[in-house]
Amino acid sequence: MNFSVAIYETRNDRGLLWRTVGLGPHDTVVTGRSDVRLQKSLADGLKAVLHALDPAEQHWFAVPQGVRLERVHLELSLGGRGGGGKRQTVTGRFPLVLVPHWVRDGVRRTRYFHPARPQDWAWLHPDHPLADQARALFSARWSGLDPDALEALGTDGKDSIRRVAFSAEPRTLLDGLEDKPGVWDDLDVDPLRRKDHKKGKAKRRGLTVLPTLATDMTAQLLERAVDLGVRRQPYAARMSAQLSGAKKRSTVVIGPPGVGKTTILRRAIADLAVTDGYFVHRNLDQIHHVYRLSGRRIIAGMSHLGDWEERCVAILEEARANPVILWLDDVSDFARLGRTRDADRNLAEFFRGPVARGDITLVAEATAERWQRLEADAPSFAAAFARTVVAPTDAAETLTLLFRAARTHEQRHRVAVEPRAFKAILDLGASLFPDTALPGSALDLLGELVAQGGDPANARVRQHLEAGHKIAAIKAHRQATGMGLAESKAAVEALADGATVVAGKPRYARKITGRDVLALLSDKTGLPTELLQLEQRLDPEDVARTFRRYVIGQEPAVAAARDLFLRIRAGLTAPGRPFAVYLLTGPTGTGKTELAKAIAEGLYGDRARLLRFDMSELSGPDAVARLIGDDFEERGTLTGRVREERFCVLLLDEVEKAHPAVLQLMLQLFDEGRLTDAQGFTADFTHSVVLMTSNLGAETADPLGFGRDPNAVTERMVDAVKEFFPPELFNRIDRIVPFAPLGRDAAMQIARKELRLLLGRRGLVDRRVWATPTRSVVEKVVAEAFTPRDGARPVKRYLEDRVASVLTEHLSGGGAAAMRLLRLFVRDGEIAVHAEALVEAEPTPGRFALTEVEGASREEVIEALRDAARFLRSDGEASARRAIEDAISARLADGDTDTIYELELARQSLEALRDRVDEALANAPTASATQPRRGLGSRPKARGRARLHQRPKAIVKADALALLAETTFLERVLSDGVPSGDRHAVFIELLRLGEGASTVRPLVESQGLIPWLTAAYRRARGDCEDVAARRRGEPLLTLAASAEAALDLLPTERPDHVVMKVVGLHVVDFFEGETGCHVWESVRAGTEVVRVRAFPAPARVTAGDVIESHVEARRAFDRALEAGDATLPDNPESLLPIVRAVRFDPPRGSGGSGGIAPLTIEDYALGDARHAEVHSPLEMLAELMQVRMTRRRGPGQDPSEEDSDG
């Protein structure tokens, strides 16, 4: 029986509020946010009432048609409680519900009442206004209500009357009669074959099992909890014919992942609701409900024989007795679910009969491979399904779907997607994720981009709310939207209650660009953005140089890695195959595994993407089953790992020891780039690099490692490979990479590299301890660790036994210094340690002009500049200029052209500064000349463009601060009488202290302290005229001819030692404050210490000369240290006090340009700490150097003390 009740709907702080109207004592109130859930909750409650209600009382549910809502304006005069007290007047709009009733034949009367107080009702007199009647009624009935209750009775005009329909089976008089059994009832042992289940006569009853096991997808779609997507033809028509007709048939949607199978099923559910007429009658009980469940959920917890069959019987009974369709998630596994060692009965066999007879309707989705497996395991069950095969969308259709999804995201998350981002998503998404078909791969990428970088205001407000800081969230909302306090408070409260975005018009919206797409793809795949973005130039020699640092002494291997990198970038790899299939041949200990690690980190960004398989463990007949799975273990070790990480390097170690069946399996992998496991899932190898290692030919030669003839060994190995591999497999190998025996020079480089890895371990980094070995330590490792038989392999064991033990002993008995620098050296044949402690610099005494005007207005800064500029017209400035001119005259006699040039540049800089300050102050208004703002009517008119050009350009605050800093700095250095001849050319030496593991990834501009400091010094002051750089243990790097071009190359060269020569006005005095140790702390990159030393540049000395003299001084110190001399020479790498600490994790992306990250800099010399969110530390470094140059002497401090402090 169908029922329809009237509902009064309004909204409160918890969402929707529904009150039934006209049910008398059975009126019900429900609240919630979803009208579908409210309807279900209300219907369930009313069904329970009807089921328990006596037939004589069911007249309350005969609600007549024509119930309407009227909103009237009333002014009520109410007395106090109990008839006494002061009277009060209440004014406002109130809702009234009018319900018509037939009191007798031909007579109809209308009853009115407030929906929240149905007990206060009266008959409506048609000859009098409704407002007057309501005023008289409510003035008498509401006198005892308090003000809060009266206020809640008003209306905001957003309420309404709606009807809710449902189906129920109320009690009847026949239910009281005794139910006598029939003569043949004892023969109906099968509940599904009883008479009441035949020919559609099943009695509808409530659902008890399905709601606990499955999800009602129909309810979710009706309440818009999931996105329906776009209707795709002809699939929508096919699904409608199968499910929306009178005779429904079980259907399966077949297609590759991402093709849109789930969306097609969702659209079919929505179409089914339309066919059932839901949007006409609004009765959830009169439509088909689609419940989504899985076979694994059905058998979960069923431990005894027959348990899961009993549960399936209950599901079939409910599906047979109610309009229910089952959506199966894992239908392809039904032939294997339910099996035990005692019984072969499975879910497919159980459901085969009901599905074939039409007792139950199933819908499902599967890939073609998975469906083929079901057809092989349970052909009769699979034949009961109608098949709908879905093809991927083309580029045009995918672009249309992307546009639609982007518009939806823009409305929900306030992000804008640029046109180039669509092209990058479409092109790169399809090529990098071939196992996910279009449009799924493109739509998933767009969704991840939106979720990864949503509205900054939304993210910041949510972050404060999650931390429980509501006031901070309101402040962040006001800052982002410009709204008032009350509006922001309401919006934040709405967000806390579940709103999706911050309300209010934002001041900015985030744009998703093509660069964002590249950054996301780089994070997902590990591929560097240089491979994805072809506009950037890529030098092959840079790639080779990077790999050469880690694969030492093997030029053919370096060339193979370089060619692979460049071929992938050019897009010339064979489609449908792995990126490359290389066979690495050579003796043990020559670097084959190291090449695999270098390719994994260089190509995919992480050595964890190296998947290594020891083929000697796969020599048995079960090898193939272990790799791709079987009936007992469906997940293969090879296919499972590659499906989880398809962007990887697959290393098949000692491939000649594998079972011959494994080599046959490799034919499909090398040729088609894919393998299918026992579950029917396909593992994609088209974005992986396959490397095989082999010692073929090496065991027949003399013991190898290093020092043998490489050419003869290589020829022998290639011949052995051709003899071993069958021709069809050998011809699918792209390249044979021979590894020759190592020479002594290569052994030295390998020992130095392994030492660097050891000294960069977390045990040292976490303790903020850095260590550097001398050359004698490296030579000792080579002499004792390398053997002709094992090559470089024993070096790690030697380092663990001899070097790591020494470091452990020193750390255990060392002091409590916060930071230490260790020097490893050899004395009397044993490795020893020399330690130095690192301390913080003392704050520099004095005041700083910029800190005094911090937070000041532009006019106040200009006044401070006006005061400081008096020095430029004083005798001190004139005498300083004469001193420079006298020094130039003296140098002319000596013929020192370099110094003459530097002094002349200083003189010109001083004059240029004076002119800039004069011009700025001439255009800046004085405080006394500041005029009040004119009104709009008194503004003078400007005719033509000439008047605009005649107006002077006012100085901005940033320029005024820069001029103030420069003027204050020159006043200090020139008034001290410092000799001018040697203060205008400076050498800045930057040295990275300690050894540590560095990244292998090529060509990605490294973020580090040396690149940041060199860039900051380059911009700070003067002109850079000479640059030299080197890496530890290597000769000087060959850089560009010009200093500016050489500085551009430093980030990619990643040197450990850099010397810059800067020329400019008093650059020595400016950069002297940078002398000391600079520390960079990062969660991802660890800790780095750079020793900076600024000193006057002597004439006719180059930056390369400074590095060479440093190397000689360090060798002299090492010799004295190893000899045990009582008096050691000066250590050129001695620790200086820490002057600055930087805490910063560069944002992920191309060179860190993809976003911002928090930065904290502590300047110990300034006694200043600053925090901001930036792209890189360059701007804040420039600010701190600008502040430091404005230092003024403290009271009573003479210039000599000031210089010693600097």
Query: What distances in angstroms separate CA 759 from CA 597, 804, 1118, one per listed residue?
Result: 19, 9, 19
Give percent of the chain with pLDDT exceeding 90. 32
Q: How many Å apart are CA 830 and CA 918, to the nearest integer? A: 68
- Asked if 192-389 and 747-835 have one fold, the answer is no
Note whether 164 and 40 are within 8 A (CB).
Answer: no
Q: How many Å apart are CA 466 and CA 476, to the nearest integer? A: 14
> Chain-centre distance of CA 1011, in angstroms?
25
Give the class (CATH, top level) of 192-389: alpha beta
Q: How many Å apart are CA 599 and CA 1002, to the nearest integer? A: 10
**Model pLDDT, residue 257:** 92
Element (H, E) at 299: helix 295-299
**Model pLDDT, residue 976:** 61
**Model pLDDT, residue 1006:** 52
Q: What is the tally of helices (H) and strands (E) in the chain?
A: 46, 36
Q: How many Å apart are CA 76 and CA 600, to the nearest integer? A: 81
Strand partners, 1061: 987, 1026
Which string of DSSP letters, residue by residue, matches 858-881?
A: HHHHHHHHHHHGGGGGSHHHHHHH
User: Which among 1020, 1017, 1038, 1018 has a CA at the least distance from the CA of 1029?
Assistant: 1038
**Model pLDDT, residue 371:** 94
3-state secondary structure of 273: helix
Query: What distances in angstroms separate CA 399 from CA 409, 422, 748, one per listed residue?
Result: 15, 7, 56
Domain definitions of the chain by residue range: 2-172, 192-389, 395-522, 535-739, 747-835, 987-1205
Q: Quick one: tokens of 496?
A: 């806390």
Mean pLDDT by 10 residues, the chain (1206 residues): 89 84 88 86 88 82 86 84 66 91 82 91 90 90 85 88 88 71 59 47 69 91 81 90 89 94 93 90 90 93 86 93 93 91 88 93 94 93 95 91 87 81 87 85 89 58 67 70 68 62 48 84 83 75 85 92 90 89 90 92 88 93 92 87 92 93 91 88 92 79 49 74 89 91 84 86 80 90 82 84 89 69 89 87 84 80 82 66 70 67 72 80 60 38 39 68 84 64 87 69 62 93 92 84 86 89 89 93 82 92 95 92 87 91 76 66 90 85 90 58 44
Q: How many Å apart are CA 1002 and CA 547, to the nearest integer? A: 7
10 Å Cβ neighbour count for 1039?
18
3-state secondary structure of 74: strand
Note whether 422 and 377 are within 8 A (CB).
Answer: no
> Chain-centre distance of CA 129, in angstroms?
65
Phi, psi of 997 (to 5 degrees): -70, 135
Q: How many Å apart are CA 339 and CA 631, to the nearest integer? A: 12
Q: Long-range contacts for 269-275 (Cβ within 8 Å, ≥24 apart)?
A: 269/217, 269/218, 269/221, 270/221, 270/228, 271/236, 271/239, 271/240, 271/243, 271/244, 272/218, 272/240, 272/243, 272/244, 272/325, 273/218, 273/221, 273/222, 275/240, 275/244
Give the class (CATH, top level) of 535-739: alpha beta
Residue range 1007-1063, pLDDT digits in tens: 689 999 999 999 998 899 999 999 887 889 888 888 888 888 888 788 999 999 999
Q: How many Å apart are CA 390 and CA 266, to the nearest integer? A: 14
Element (H, E) at 1190: none
What's 612's DSSP letter? E
Q: Quick one: tokens of 314?
A: 């209950």
10 Å Cβ neighbour count for 180?
6
Radius of gyration of the chain (CA): 41
Query: What distances in angstroms separate CA 331 from CA 80, 248, 293, 347, 363, one per listed residue?
Result: 70, 18, 10, 9, 9
Give percent of the chain with pLDDT exceeding 70. 83
User: Which among 559, 564, 575, 578 has a CA at the least distance from the CA of 531?
Assistant: 564
> Chain-centre distance of CA 444, in angstroms?
14
Residue written as token pair 């005779």: 247
Q: Interhelix angle for 440-452 vs 395-413, to 10°?
A: 20
pTM tops 0.75: no
CATH ID of 747-835, from 3.40.718.10, 3.40.640.10, 3.40.50.1010, 1.10.8.60: 1.10.8.60
**Model pLDDT, residue 314:** 93
Residue range 506-545, pLDDT digits in tens: 443 578 888 888 888 888 888 887 778 766 677 888 888 8
**Model pLDDT, residue 858:** 79
Q: How many Å apart are CA 274 and CA 821, to the nearest integer? A: 76
